[in-house]
């Protein structure tokens, strides 16, 4: 299976730029996800890959074949790209059986009838539905219809598989099951796959690598664990999982550790610096709720950690962990803990290596405060 290389991809609609020079390289056999909120440009990028949209400029290459090249005005139409695609709407023909649905792309490609039966059986067998090939789409569940759409995209052995939020129409339980078998199928086939979703949990669970997008830009490309543990920007940290954000100023640097004075109460916090920083910089510091922990007010601090006094706001959210909202300055903070029954005054302890530092202040809307206003 080939690599997919997208260079400086730009797309404008009626004078509005929706893709700002997107650069992505997708490795052979990789499960690569375009992740971001609505309007970020992920589906437009996929549509340009598929040939359903013509980019304003840039280039797209799959293996040795160039599909788009603005300098030569080259544009290969979608029917000549040999890519498989599954839409959010499965687009199955209701008057055709499953076998007939899968035969359509084979007929278009003029595959001999003598070969079609085996190809159709093999494709349906890959998704566990070969025994239902004579049924019609309305006789299937939503999850089964989704599998048929995938089988139809695979039946002609495409170079690359493009998936545009294919699980979004399934209920939560089916969606979780579908993640497992879809990822296993992709790995078994070794097919290069480009997956579009706004669901961060889905992306983290299924992807080899993720491109986080916002407003037509790629903010970060990395493996799921790196995206979560080392978000490149405050916006990535806010979109992937949950984070607490505090504004401050760098007052001292000691190797890879920065001391930041927080604006709220003049307290200082130690931060491990991953990028350039210098004294006097206005910054935002962020930490995940599960990276901090709570202790009694008189507990001694671990080496390198920072603490601040806080008061627990009732009631905690209860699940596999306890989610506590803390009053600690003008806006509440959130902390996940395995300890239940905590109340009153506590010490919030944050290890330096668990805090990320980003340039600028007020870069993230105060969603946590808005949430707390609703839930408390």
Token code pair at residue 108: 């278009």
Residues 95 and 145 in one domain: yes
| Domain finish residue from 234, 264, 285 | 234
CATH code, domain with 178? 3.40.50.300
CATH code, domain with 291? 2.40.50.140
Residues 268 and 182 in one domain: no
Its pTM stands at: 0.88
**Contacts for 216 with CB less than 8 Å, ≥ 6 apart:** 11, 17, 18, 19, 20, 22, 40, 41, 44
Residues 37 and 179 in one domain: yes
* Spatial separation of the C-alpha atoms in residues 365 and 237, rounded to whole Å: 12
| Domain finish residue from 204, 234, 264 | 234
* Spatial separation of the C-alpha atoms in residues 9 and 19, rounded to whole Å: 7
Q: Is 164 helix (H, G, I), strand (E, B) or coil?
A: strand
Residues 312 and 210 in one domain: no
* Spatial separation of the C-alpha atoms in residues 313 and 334, rounded to whole Å: 10
Residues 216 and 324 in one domain: no
Residues 279 and 145 in one domain: no
**DSSP assignment string, 312-336:** EEEEEEESSSEEEEEE-SSS-EEEE
| Domain finish residue from 207, 234, 261 | 234
Q: How confident is the prediction along the chain (376 residues), in pLDDT tens digits per residue? A: 579 999 999 999 998 999 999 999 999 999 999 999 999 999 999 999 999 999 999 999 999 999 999 889 999 999 999 999 998 888 899 999 999 999 999 999 999 999 999 999 999 999 999 999 999 999 999 889 999 999 999 999 999 999 999 888 888 888 888 899 899 999 999 999 999 999 999 999 999 999 999 999 999 999 999 999 999 999 999 999 889 998 999 999 887 788 899 887 778 888 877 677 888 999 998 999 999 888 888 777 776 677 777 888 876 677 667 888 888 777 788 898 887 778 888 888 888 888 888 888 766 655 433 433 333 2
Residues 46 and 75 in one domain: yes
Q: How many domains does the chain have?
A: 2
Residues 223 and 291 in one domain: no
Q: Domain span at residue 209?
A: 4-234
């Amino acid at each position: 299976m080939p690599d997919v290389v997208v260079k400086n991809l730009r797309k404008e609609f009626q004078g509005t730029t929706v893709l700002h020079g997107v650069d992505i390289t997708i490795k052979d056999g990789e499960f690569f996800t375009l992740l971001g909120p609505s309007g970020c440009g992920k589906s437009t990028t996929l549509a340009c890959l598929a040939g359903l949209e013509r980019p304003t400029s840039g280039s797209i290459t799959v293996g040795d074949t160039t599909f788009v090249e603005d300098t030569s005005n080259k544009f290969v139409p979608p029917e000549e790209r040999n890519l498989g695609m599954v839409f959010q709407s499965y687009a199955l023909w209701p008057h055709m059986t499953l076998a007939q649905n899968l035969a359509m792309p084979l007929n278009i490609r003029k595959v001999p009838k003598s070969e079609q039966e085996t190809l159709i059986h093999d494709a349906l067998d890959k998704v566990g539905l070969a025994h239902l090939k004579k049924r019609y789409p309305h006789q299937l569940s939503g999850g089964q219809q989704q599998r048929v759409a995938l089988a139809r995209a695979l039946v002609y052995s495409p170079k690359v598989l493009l998936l545009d939020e294919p699980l979004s129409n399934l209920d939560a339980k089916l969606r979780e099951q579908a993640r497992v078998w879809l990822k296993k199928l992709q790995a078994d086939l070794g097919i290069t796959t480009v997956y579009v979703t706004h669901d961060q949990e889905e992306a983290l669970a299924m992807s080899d690598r993720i491109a986080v997008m916002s407003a037509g830009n790629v903010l970060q490309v990395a493996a799921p664990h790196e995206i979560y543990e080392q978000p490149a920007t405050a916006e990535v940290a806010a979109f992937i999982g949950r984070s607490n954000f505090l504004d401050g100023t760098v007052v001292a640097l000691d190797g890879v550790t920065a001391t930041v004075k927080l604006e709220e109460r003049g307290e200082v916090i130690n931060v491990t610096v991953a990028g350039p920083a210098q004294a006097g910089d206005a910054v935002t510091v962020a930490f995940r709720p599960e990276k901090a922990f709570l202790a009694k007010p008189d507990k001694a601090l671990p080496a390198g950690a920072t603490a601040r006094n806080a008061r627990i706001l009732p009631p905690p959210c209860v699940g596999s962990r306890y989610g506590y909202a803390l009053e600690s300055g003008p806006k509440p903070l959130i902390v996940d803990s395995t300890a239940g029954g905590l109340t009153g005054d506590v010490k919030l302890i944050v290890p330096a290596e668990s805090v990320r530092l980003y340039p600028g202040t007020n870069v993230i809307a105060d969603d946590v405060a808005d949430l707390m206003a609703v839930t408390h």
